[in-house]
Chains A and B, each alone.
Chain A
Amino acid sequence: MKLTVNGKPVELAGPTPLLDYLAGLRVDPRSVAVEINDRILEREEFARAALREGDVVEVVRMVGGGL
């Protein structure tokens, strides 16, 4: 199935739990915000969220640095 993650086309075998997808990227789910189809997920929703065909997903890293 095809979807878009961070503006780029991504192909996955089938519907994929968000946490599995993040783990595959070695992204700590506590360090990102996730938007699926223009909706910002609350952190408590991560565990039951899944990526599906045609989803437009943004995974935004929390960045603190500035100095």
Chain B
Amino acid sequence: MSENGFRPFTPDQVSRYARHLILPEVGGAGQRKLLNSSVLLLGAGGLGSPAALYLAAAGVGTLGIVDFDEVDASNLQRQILHGTADVGKPKTQSAAETLQSINPDVKVIEHRLHVNSENALQVFEPYDLIIDGTDNFPTRYLANDAAFFLKKPLVHGAIYRFEGQMADFTPAAGTGCYRCLFATPPPPGAVPSCAEAGVFGVLPGIIGSMMAFETIKLLLEIGEPLIGKLLIFEGMDMSFRKVNLRRNARCPLCGDEPTVHGLIDYEAFCGAPAVEPSEATVQVG
């Protein structure tokens, strides 16, 4: 132990993190902070892969991975956590093996489950920050609401064909949430899924890497995080634009007269809730 109570970096760590240690914005204190940080990734797929790989390489000390699926051959075109030999394995296991091989400093916690209104708060609770790289609206709304109730920052990313979106939400700080823009999930059939519409394989690499970038900025409290803006990337003309996404006074979650007071399980197809909210709701605080 050093005099300030921290374990000094090992020679391997000094070497591994040399390019961070030399950056004044990170340095020894920042690197120590990353090693002591914990991040939960929802989805070990297209967005979760690059995000998790970069967070592990950067030395974020604890990475939780939520995914119930097994690796499928159709994932390999973009989900770079997984290789050909991983087909058939649980994604959490494949992800843990890959991340551990990149950086043994990182502790990977496998959550092989579907998050729902009953378990979300418990799963999210131990983590400093949540990354939403899921593939469906029910989980996106659940993640948004649970992060708000737990006052945890949420890094949001989504992809469709050649277009991606991302934002940082810190709604507990009064800066708006996903529902400020999209109050409720779309009705069934209004929005196609990636499986129905296709996704350009490198697209999640771009959006997921930016999610890792924003995550580290938020953990280290450096720079200007993408709060109050939705970043939209159009790959076909390589353009980025930002849309204002400030707190909406009429937001059903973080607005002046909220109507969402607990977690809701929306129907998998994204229409009305599977059961009435009054029954599905888990009261919070």
Contact = CB atoms under 8 A, between A and B. Distances in A.
Q: Do A and B come from one complex?
A: yes
Contacts of A42: 183, 250
Given A6-B241, A35-B243, A65 B190 contact: no
B186 interface: yes
A66 B181 contact: no
B93 interface: no
Contacts of A58: 243
Contacts of A38: 244
A38 B248 CA distance: 11
B244 A66 contact: no
B181 A33 contact: yes
Interface in B59-88: 69, 75, 79
Interface string B185-199: 011001101100101
Interface string A23-59: 0000010110101001010110000000000000010
A9 interface: no
Contact of B193 (A28, A35, A60, A65): A65
B248 A40 contact: yes
B154 interface: no
Contacts of A14: none
A63 interface: yes
Interface size class of A (residues with CB under 8 A): 20 to 34
A7 interface: yes
Contacts of B180: 40
Given A31-B190, A35-B243, A66 B157 contact: yes
Nearest to B135: A67
B244 A35 contact: yes
A32 B199 CA distance: 19
Interface in A1-16: 6-7
A67 B183 contact: no
B190 A63 contact: no
A40 B230 CA distance: 13
Interface of A: 6-7, 28, 30-31, 33, 35, 38, 40, 42-43, 58, 60-67
